[in-house]
Structure 1
């Protein structure tokens, strides 16, 4: 099953994350199928490719809880 989830990058004690589409059985920092955005929790910045995200969601990709909250906050998902 494909998931829309966060992949951690960045240095120690300064995390940044990429929003990626990957298989749910892959490890967190494994090879993604597609990268659709990034999130920086320290600077409170994010940038999402809404067109790609909407396309993946229409294919049936499920976001994780954290990603769902981020997308809701960015008005990518309207619930």
Structure 2
């Protein structure tokens, strides 16, 4: 099953998350199918870039949003 979730990057005490479409059985920071956006929790604008069309495409193919990504998109008024 494909999930849209966040992969951690950045450095110690300064995380930057990448929103990715990945196989649900692969590790959090492992191989992914497509990069869909970036989230920086400590920046003024938390969501730097989001490929909304890419997310819609993956959802139409049966992918599921993780709870964290769903909440993040909802709190930033991004409609799917």
**TM over 0.5, shorter chain:** yes
Count of aligned positions: 78
Measure the CA separation in 1 of the matches of 2:4 and 2:79.
13
Unpaired runs of 5+ residues, structure 1, are none
Measure the CA separation in 1 of the matches of 2:22 and 2:40.
20
TM-score by length of 1: 0.90
Q: Give every structure 1 segment of 4 or more consecutive aligned residues whose post-TM-superposition deviation is greater than 6 Å.
A: none
Q: Which residue of 2 aligns with 1:32?
A: 32
Measure the CA separation in 1 of the matches of 2:73 and 2:62.
16
Q: Which residue of 1 aligns with 2:17?
A: 17
Unpaired runs of 5+ residues, structure 2, are none
Deviation at 1:74? 2.9
Deviation at 1:45? 1.8
Measure the CA separation in 2 of the matches of 1:2 and 1:29.
15
Measure the CA separation in 1 of the matches of 2:68 and 2:29.
16
TM-score by length of 2: 0.89
